[in-house]
Amino acid sequence: SEKRHAAPEQYVTVNPMVHPDAARYLMENFPNLRAVAIDAPSVGAPNHIPETVETHQILTGQGREDGRFILIFEDLRIDADLGQAKRIYAWPLFIEGSDGSPCTIVAEFAD
């Protein structure tokens, strides 16, 4: 995002969020969706903590009996049109007992 470098204070305090209704919509209507990525610090917003927590709970599948979840990649610098990617790979640093970690994302594009 342009704000990442031009206005770093705004980047971390005034960012878009994924509303819990949108998270539910993704879970219910896209059964093959495995991950979402956002070029913002979080899928939530610091001034909407209850909604942020609910969105994370929905996407991570908390309370679901079917085991379904959607991985969340936050604070991702997206410079390319990932809709044109052939494959996208994610390599997280697994940290025991943690629900998040740094992650390297690599996109593969056709020739």
Q: Are residues 17 and 32 in the same domain?
A: yes
Q: Are residues 12 and 61 in the same domain?
A: yes
Q: Are residues 21 and 51 in the same domain?
A: yes
Q: Can you give the pLDDT at residue 1?
A: 59
Q: Are residues 68 and 103 in the same domain?
A: no
The average pLDDT across 29-51 equals 91
Of the candidates 34, 58, 30, 31, which has an alpha carbon nearest to the alpha carbon of residue 44? 58
Residue 23: partners with Cβ closer than 8 Å, 6 or more residues away: 43, 54, 55, 58, 59
Q: Are residues 34 and 18 in the same domain?
A: yes
Number of domain units in the chain? 2
The model's pLDDT over 44-98, given as tens digits with 9 standing for 90+, comes to 988 899 999 999 999 999 999 999 999 999 988 877 777 788 998 999 898 998 8
Q: Are residues 75 and 99 in the same domain?
A: no
How far from each other are the two terminal CA atoms of the chain, in whole angstroms?
A: 26
| Domain coverage including residue 100 | 80-111
